[in-house]
Amino acid sequence: MLKFSRLLAQVISFAVFGVALAYFSNSPSYTYHDAEMALIMVSFSHSSERKEECRRFTPEEIAATAANMRRPMDCKRERVPVYIEVMLDGENLLSKSYNPTGLSKDGASSIYERITVKPGQHHLLVKLRDSGREEGFDYESDTTINIKAKELFVIDFRKELGGFYFKRDE
Amino acid sequence: MLALKKILRIGFEHVEDWFDIVFGAKWNPFYQLGALGWFYYWIVVVSGFYLYIFFDTGVTQAYQSLEYLTHEQWYAGGLMRSLHRYASDALVVMMMVHLLREFAMDRFRSPRWFAWFTGAPMLWLVFAAGISGYWMVWDQLAQYIAITTAEFLDALPIFGESIARNFLTDAKLSGRFFTLMVFMHIALPLFLLFVMWIHIQRHATPKVNPPKELAIATLSMLLILSFMKPALSQAPADLSIVPTTVNLDWFYMPIYPVMNNVSGLTVWILLIGATLLLMLVPWMPPGKRAAVAVVHLDNCNGCSRCAADCPFSAIDMEPRSDGSAYKLEAVVDASNCVSCGICVGSCPTATPFRTKSELSPGIELPDDKIKELREKTIAASSNLTGDDRVIVYGCQDSLDPAKLAEAKVGIVTMPCIGMLPPSFIDFVLSKKLADGVFLTGCRDGDCDFRLGIRWTDDRLAGERDPRIRKRVNQDRIGKYWAGMTRRKEFFKELTAFRLRLNKLESSQAEDKIKTNDSSEKIDA
Ligand code: HEM
Ligand code: SF4
Ligand code: SF4
């Protein structure tokens, strides 16, 4: 091959490589979240109640235990799942149970949910069950939110603050 | 897997043939992938060092400091930033092509396991280093990466507290993570350098620097690219706003959209499974292994040539164990020996001129003994006639005797052409077993056993021991590094060589009687 055409082919090879680097280093773009929509995040961890209530050991049972292992109460450590419902303008957006973490199921349940919603004014109702009851809820809270597109609204839960806790970075 | 490998190999060979024409064997980037990787790595380090001088490591100031570099100092800081990004991208490209190529060319099987095995963790290190780098920009892309990475880490049941929760509102906590990322972005590349160094420990004279011209060309390309399309940030991170459309660097983040749509645990299982599988590949069937080189101490004089020539650092020179007067002896590390025979070609005692045929050289392949090579040479010469009798020596990856049948030459193959002691050429010519010797092997620039061709060239040129004797007429030696793919060119070169032989003064006639005479002696 002629010297010039070889050189040309070399330049073309490098140019192709360069263009590929330039292009794929930031294209095509990827849409993670629709820019027309707002986002509600349900995110917290919460320790629910124990599955079984503590029970006093009978005197016979205490007698049968080694002296250094004696305790007055028998407490099983396993917790019940945390159950959550999220309603927006009367529409159910989430109803789900979260198992406790840990090998003996005695840890907190971790909740992390992403709910894409239309922007605007909404009535938000959240309910949580963390006890062994079959029906009804242990915590309930509602609020009116006005959320813009791309905005993030976080539903938190803090038992020490009395239950649900809404926050939004202004 | 075998079919895939074959297709890959054919694909590579076609593309490389083309690049050989354009760049020549010496500058063909496909033969320099590892070296180019090192080169890109150094560009990344140097440019990164510059950026770090101006970079503000606080989560709120980081973005601004990069904006300053990009816009106010576009001619230096901006340029360095772009170089940093594009060289990192080029490193990924090089690494993936290098991985595929080593796989396609079958250079990873058990005796060659080391480089492959240590390559796998480098994949993680390179990707983690790149991701932590994009994190440091703290723009919307960084925010997206932070959220997705944290969710991914949360899928593992080892972190007590959710990490992703840090990126919902609390700017202080994300600041702590930011600092951690800045640290990682320095620690990971340093560790990568260490593993890169480990990676080539079993390679004698590893190719870690590309040829100067190729380095200049690739650096120029990166510079032009950096001026034409400077690396920019996206909008600054804002935790109260959800990242929407992000411009991913697809070299580093192809897995991120997958992480958004598949459960984190599934992705973990896939990634770890794939890595383990990759690391086990060297021991997968077919695992047949040729016998490794063996040292015969009674013939080893401790000259160290074999240790210097072994491309896989499989020979150590150790103190003499047999009480002989020589100081050192060669010791083969069986787990690293790939049975290429290059050490045999370098051993001064591996010569066909020996009369005691029982005698074996200092080092030898049990499956391809020097004695057999000598016998094969004599047998190959027996059917040759005329004034252009040629013996072709080649490696088993470059010569298919069936396809050469018509050429009417004597064919002798061995694992690697580097196994041929130069004295064999002297032997063939001085004993008039043929009028010329033609050597062939893998494609120029890409010896399957790394250094076989290079050492052969050097030995014939008298630049490396064992040198070919001065009395040998170089006109009667031809060579063409063809591999299996360049049959046409090979025949052209061979034909031209024979024409040259025909033109040489036919000194054979007067010697003819002698020839028969000597070959009888040889056979005995
Ligand atoms: C940062 C990334 C990497 C760099 C800079 C790099 C660099 C190198 C260099 C310089 C060589 C020596 C070439 C020679 O002198 O012949 C080499 C060989 C090799 N590398 Fe890599 N490498 C990288 C990643 C990988 C990966 C990911 C794999 C595969 C899992 C891999 C597998 C191999 C193999 C199989 C060999 C050849 C071994 C042999 O010839 O026996 N490398 N690499
Ligand atoms: S055959 Fe010889 S040169 Fe080749 S790897 Fe083994 S010891 Fe090294
Ligand atoms: S080249 Fe031969 S003689 Fe020299 S050290 Fe190696 S085995 Fe011994």
Structure tokens, B120: 């796998």
pTM across the whole model: 0.90
Ligand 1 centroid vs A115 CA: distance in angstroms?
45
> Is the per-residue pLDDT at B296 higher than 80?
yes
Q: What is the mean pLDDT of chain B?
A: 90
> Is the per-residue pLDDT at B41 higher than 90?
yes
| Across A83-92, A128-137, B80-89, B351-360, least confident range | B351-360
- Is the C-beta atom of B363 inside 6 A of ligand 3? yes
Which neighbouring-strand residues pair with B318?
A: B329
Chain B neighbors of A105, CB-CB under 8 A: none
A131 in contact with chain B, both atoms CB, cutoff 8 A: no
Would you say B55 and B136 are in contact if contact means Cβ atoms under 8 Å apart? Answer: yes
> Is the per-residue pLDDT at B280 higher than 70?
yes
For ligand 2, residues with CB inside 6 Å are B 292-293, 310, 312, 314-315, 332, 337-343
User: Residue B355 has what pLDDT?
Assistant: 64
d(CA B317, CA B332): 9
Would you say B39 and B209 are in contact if contact means Cβ atoms under 8 Å apart? Answer: yes
d(CA A22, CA B438): 47
The beta strand positions in B15-91, using DSSP E, are none
Would you say B90 and B84 are in contact if contact means Cβ atoms under 8 Å apart? Answer: no
Q: Which atom of ligand 2 is nearest to the CA of B333?
A: 7
Overall average pLDDT of the B459-479 stretch? 92
Q: Which residue has the tokens 């008298």?
A: B462
What is the tens place of the pLDDT at every residue in A108-121?
888 999 999 999 99
What is the tens place of the pLDDT at every residue in A143-161?
999 999 999 999 989 888 8
| Across A14-18, B54-58, B318-322, B404-408, least confident range | B404-408
Chain B neighbors of A17, CB-CB under 8 A: 90, 93, 221
Q: Which atom of ligand 2 is nearest to the CA of B344?
A: 2
What is the tens place of the pLDDT at every residue in B111-140?
889 999 999 999 999 999 999 999 999 999
> Is the per-residue pLDDT at B184 higher than 60?
yes
User: Residue B517 has what pLDDT?
Assistant: 42
A27 in contact with chain B, both atoms CB, cutoff 8 A: yes
| Among the listed residues A110, A105, A42, the one whose alpha carbon sits nearest the alpha carbon of residue B162 | A110
Which neighbouring-strand residues pair with B17?
A: none
Higher pLDDT: B167 or B456? It is B456
Chain B residues 148-177 with CB within 8 Å of chain A: 148, 151, 154, 157, 161-162, 164-165, 168-169
Instruction: Report which secondary-structure segment, H or E, holds B15.
Output: helix B2-27
User: Residue B507 has what pLDDT?
Assistant: 52
> Is the per-residue pLDDT at B83 higher than 60?
yes
Chain A nearest C-alpha distance from B400 (Å): 29
- B260, amino acid identity: N
Overall average pLDDT of the B493-513 stretch? 75
Overall average pLDDT of the B21-40 stretch? 96
Q: Treating both helix axes as pointing N-terminal to C-terminal, what angle do B264-280 and B140-154 enclose, rounded to 10 degrees? A: 80
Helices (H), B200-235: 212-228
> Is the per-residue pLDDT at B506 higher than 80?
no
B355 in contact with chain A, both atoms CB, cutoff 8 A: no
> Is the per-residue pLDDT at A15 higher than 60?
yes
B245 in contact with chain A, both atoms CB, cutoff 8 A: yes
User: Residue B408 has what pLDDT?
Assistant: 84
- ipTM summary value: 0.89
| Across A83-92, B169-178, B277-286, B301-310, least confident range | B169-178
d(CA B235, CA B216): 35
A54 in contact with chain B, both atoms CB, cutoff 8 A: no
At residue A1 the predicted structure's pLDDT band, cuts being 50, 70 and 90, is: low
Q: Calculate what percentage of chain B has a pLDDT beyond 70.
A: 94
Overall average pLDDT of the B491-496 stretch? 93
Q: Identify which ligand lies nearest to the alpha carbon of B280.
A: 1
> Is the per-residue pLDDT at B287 higher than 70?
no
Q: What is the mean pLDDT of chain A?
A: 88
- Is the C-beta atom of B304 inside 6 A of ligand 3? yes
Ligand 3 centroid vs B364 CA: distance in angstroms?
10
At residue B171 the predicted structure's pLDDT band, cuts being 50, 70 and 90, is: low
Higher pLDDT: B173 or A72? It is A72
CB pairs under 8 A between A and B: 116
**Closest Cα to atom 26, ligand 1: which residue?**
B119
Chain A neighbors of B144, CB-CB under 8 A: 32
Ligand 2 centroid vs B419 CA: distance in angstroms?
9
| Across A14-28, A58-72, B57-71, B199-213, least confident range | A58-72
At residue B522 the predicted structure's pLDDT band, cuts being 50, 70 and 90, is: very low
What is the tens place of the pLDDT at every residue in A28-79?
999 999 999 999 999 888 888 888 777 888 888 888 888 887 788 777 788 8
Per-residue buried b or exposed e for B429-460, using 16+ beta carbons within 10 Å of the residue's own CB: bebbbbbbbbbbbbbbbbbbbbbbbbbbbebb
| Across B174-183, B365-374, B410-419, B501-510, least confident range | B501-510
Question: If 0-12 CB within 10 Å is exposed, 13-18 middle and 19+ buried, where does residue A79 land?
Answer: buried
> Is the per-residue pLDDT at B440 higher than 90?
yes
Phi, psi at residue B317, to the nearest 5°? -95, 120
B90 in contact with chain A, both atoms CB, cutoff 8 A: yes
At residue B516 the predicted structure's pLDDT band, cuts being 50, 70 and 90, is: very low
For ligand 1, residues with CB inside 6 Å are B 34-35, 37-38, 95, 98-99, 102, 107-108, 112, 115-116, 119-120, 122-123, 126, 196, 199-200, 203, 206-208, 278, 450
d(CA B394, CA B398): 6
Q: Identify which ligand lies nearest to the alpha carbon of B102.
A: 1
At residue A94 the predicted structure's pLDDT band, cuts being 50, 70 and 90, is: very high
At residue B153 the predicted structure's pLDDT band, cuts being 50, 70 and 90, is: very high
A167 in contact with chain B, both atoms CB, cutoff 8 A: yes
Three-class SS state of A139:
strand
> Is the per-residue pLDDT at B511 higher than 70?
no
Phi, psi at residue A154, to the nearest 5°? -110, 130
User: Residue B78 has what pLDDT?
Assistant: 95
Structure tokens, B298: 């009674």
Chain A nearest C-alpha distance from B242 (Å): 5
At residue B359 the predicted structure's pLDDT band, cuts being 50, 70 and 90, is: low
CB-CB under 8 Å, B225 with A150: no
Three-class SS state of B520:
helix
| Across A137-141, B87-91, B315-319, least confident range | A137-141
